[in-house]
Amino acid sequence: MVVAWIVLRRCAPQENPRPQDASSVTKQKRLLPPELPAIRGTPPIILPVASEAARLNDPDLTAADDLAILTTMLGEYRRHLGGNPVGDNDEITAALLGANPKRLACLPTNTGRYLDNAGRLIDRWGAPYFFHALSLSNMEILSAGPDSILYTADDLRGGDAE
């Protein structure tokens, strides 16, 4: 009879003797690492492709040149990290700025004429690029073109899906 009581006692669900208070949850959240590399303290390693990327939206270049530069940057990212950056434009941009596991930057970390206030890569008309991952190693890049509206006749396509 004593053995049955001990077995049942050990198998019974244990209640948490001390529920977590809000301050301990807040402290736990503060311990999580921030996503952006600059916040963590150590600056990213700038890859040589970043000097070419600094020319994005240069008045002496064309929109096709910009797409070629972006394609090169994504190729370098894949070469070093084994696949495309993922997410929306702002997440892909952050990864290209160095918020990635190897802390490698394909874009210069200073903001240039190629980033908007939300941290997104923009085309020469000020519209955010649309990135469409076709596979781990193929990415299509869409510029909304001069009318700044996606999926109209003046859109420009680049990337690995050309």
Check pLDDT > 50 for residue 26: no
Q: What CA–CA distance (Å, rounded) separates 121 from 129?
A: 6
- The whole-model pTM stands at 0.73
In this prediction, what percent of the chain has a pLDDT beyond 70?
Answer: 73
Instruction: Please say whether the dihedral angle defined by the alpha carbons of residues 115, 116, 117 and 120, taken in this order, is positive or negative.
Output: negative
In this prediction, what percent of the chain has a pLDDT beyond 90?
Answer: 66
Using 50, 70 and 90 to split pLDDT, how confident is the model at 161? low
Lowest mean pLDDT among 87-91, 149-153, 157-161: 157-161
pLDDT of 103-138, one tens digit each?
Answer: 999 999 776 799 999 999 999 999 999 999 999 889
pLDDT of 32 reads 31
pLDDT of 111 reads 67
**Beta-carbon contacts of residue 70 (< 8 Å; ≥ 6 apart):** 56, 121, 129, 141, 158, 159
pLDDT of 39 reads 46
Check pLDDT > 60 for residue 46: yes
The larger pLDDT score, comparing residue 24 to residue 78, is at 78
Average pLDDT over residues 60-67: 97
The secondary structure of residue 92, as a DSSP letter, is H
Average pLDDT over residues 56-77: 97
Check pLDDT > 70 for residue 90: yes
Task: Give the gyration radius of the chain's Cα atoms.
Answer: 24
pLDDT of 40 reads 57
